[in-house]
Structure formats: C-alpha cells, structure tokens
Amino acid sequence: MKALTILLGFFLLFIQKTTAQEIPNGNFESWGIYNGWTEEPTEWNTPNNQLIETTVKDLEAYAGDFAMRVNPYNMGVGEYGWGNIDFPITYIPSSLDFYAKWDKTSTAAVGVDITFFNEDTPIYTTSWYAQENVSEWTLIHIPLDQIEPIMDHVTVNVYVSIGDFAPGEGWISVDQMSFGGVNGIEELTLNKDLLLFPNPVSEMLYIKDVVSSFSYEIYDQLGKKVANGVYGSGIDVRSLASGSYTLSLITQKAVVRKGGFVIEK
C-alpha cells in the first residue's frame, strides 16, 4: 500500500507539472466577445474595443482553425498592438516555444516578452525580437533561465510597436504556444521535423542530413533540460535514463528544429 501511495503521488506530481506548463488557449482555437464589440482569444487580453481592433484571427493557422495575429493601431503617439495573457505558475520552465510568421519595416518592432512575478514584483523577464521577415510558419524557441525564486504568475505578451516619429508597418501571427518544449509521447510521435536514429537508442544518437555544428538541447517528458552541447558526429546519450526525450537543434536565430527519441537500455 505504501508503494502504491508513493507511485500515485509521483503520478499526480507528473500531471501537475505537465499541466502547469500549458499556456491557456495557447493554440488560439477559442475566441469570444468580452468587451461588447470585437472578438479576442479566450483568456487573452487585447486593446480591442469599438474603435480599435489590433488582435484578430489568422485563418491560415499553423494548426487547427485559428492563430492569433497582432496588428498595429494608431493611438496618437505611435502605433501599437498586443495580445497578452497572465496566469498562475510557480516555477520557470525550460523554454517558451511557438510558431510564428511576421512582416515589418525597419522602424517596427515585433516580438514576445515573458515576465515572471511574485505578486506585483517582476522576478525574471526575457524577450524575443523578430528579425528578418518570415512568411512561413517558423518554430521559435526562447530558452528560459531555470532560477528558483518565489513566484506566483507569469505574463506572456505578443506585440507590435511603431514609434510616433518613425512611420512604418508591421504584424506578427503566433500559434501553438507552450512552455517547456514538446510534452508527452503523442506530441513526440507527431513531431517529424528532425529524423533521429537509431530510435530507440542506447549509446550514440545521430541526426539525419545535419552536418553543421548547431547547438542542441535535450528535454525529458517534464520539459526539464537534461543535456546540451554542440552537434558534431553524434550525441552520446549513455548517461541518460531510459525514457522518451525531445531534442531541439538551435540555430543562431533562435529557431529550432525538433525531434523525439526513446532511450532503451
């Protein structure tokens, strides 16, 4: 009975940890009218009102029916648009991952801010800024420092900003936002971006058709980073325990390609 209780406790902890990494409505499939005039993603906050509609559905989503597109709106002292969400969390995951596409002039700034809070005090913040324009959905990986201060909620903000004295244009669409990379065997199976072999593996793991020296990170099923390095002629995984993992191959532009693999010993 004691062993069963311990196992059940571990299982509940695993479920809680995995669920905590989810961003509410991070796939942007749920929309509603909350301000009496325009739609916005459920649980997300926008400046949309009777006169302003900056955050709208992108019908050419990466997955599902909808993504979230943020456009700028002239607010008198510049053009701005945003969609943000604030929700409880008690730890910093390993990364924020999402698909994005964008278009902007040199005078426009588009990106994503992530800030962890303890009540009203910011504890840790980081940002990603879009560079060259990307017309196709691209996987974006924002590594997060896994420090362990006391915190109780996080804000994720997707924005477009154009200064008042430098006219320009810009927009960004995002989809499939989640913390900690890919979670769960089902998602690992669906991710076919990288071909890893042998799979299952016990000693050396290789990536097909990759010859450049890119950085890599390996995450377990809880989204915890368990290994990292620079890919050259294989990855030695003998120090890792049996189980399912995600490998992220990271370019200099913080764009990742991912693949799942299983270690069996």
pLDDT at 259: 85
Taking Cα atoms as reference points, which of 127, 142, 146, 151 lies closest to residue 177? Answer: 142
Q: What is the pLDDT of residue 93?
A: 86
Q: Which residue has the higher pLDDT, 224 or 155?
A: 155
Q: What is the DSSP string of 190-240?
A: H--SS-EESSSBSSEEEETT--S--EEEEE-TTS-EEEEEE-SS-EE-TTS
Question: What pLDDT does 166 receive?
Answer: 73
Euclidean distance between CA atoms 138 and 99, whole angstroms: 5
User: What is the reported pLDDT for 6?
Assistant: 36
- 59 by DSSP, 3-state: which? coil
**pLDDT score for 18:** 39
- Give me the residue label for tokens 């991912």: 258
CB atoms within 10 A of CB 91: 15
Give tens-digit pLDDT for 91-104: 888 889 899 999 99
186 has pLDDT over 60: no
- Residues with Cβ within 8 Å of 249's Cβ and at least 6 positions away in sequence, in order, are 194, 207, 210, 214, 215, 216, 231, 256, 257, 258, 259
Domain locations along the chain: 2-179, 185-263
The Cα–Cα gap between 85 and 70 comes to 14
Q: What is the CATH number of domain 185-263?
A: 2.60.40.3080
State the amino acid at position 85 in one-letter form: I
**pLDDT score at 31:** 96
Q: What is the DSSP letter of 241?
A: P
Residue 187 has pLDDT above 50, yes or no: no
Tokens of 265: 């010993």
* Pair of tokens at residue 27: 């796939």
The residue that leads in pLDDT, 74 or 120, is 120
Task: Determine the pLDDT at residue 21.
Answer: 54
Q: 33-81: per-residue pLDDT in tens? A: 876 788 999 999 999 988 889 999 999 999 899 999 999 988 777 889 9
Confidence band of 4 (pLDDT split at 50, 70, 90): very low
State how far the Cα of 173 lies from the Cα of 70, in Å rounded to an integer: 6
Res. 32: pLDDT tops 70: yes
Share of the chain above pLDDT 90, in %: 46
- What is the model's pLDDT at position 211? 59
> In this predicted model, what pLDDT tens digit does every residue of 136-175 receive, in sequence order?
888 888 888 878 789 999 999 999 999 777 778 999 999 9
- Asked if the model's pLDDT at residue 256 lies above 90, the reply is no
Domain 2-179 has CATH 3.40.462.10: no
Quote the longest CA-to-CA distance of the chain. 70
What's the number of CA atoms in the CB half-sphere (13 Å) around residue 153? 9
Q: What band does 181 get if pLDDT is binned at 50, 70 and 90? A: low
Determine the straight-line distance between the first and last CA of the chain, rounded to whole angstroms. 29
Is residue 184 pLDDT above 50, yes or no? no
pLDDT computed for residue 189 by the predictor: 34
Locate tokens 């940002």: which residue? 127
Residue 10 near residue 2, CB atoms below 8 Å: no
Compute the average pLDDT of residues 238-256: 78
Per-chain mean pLDDT for the chain: 82
pLDDT on residue 261: 92
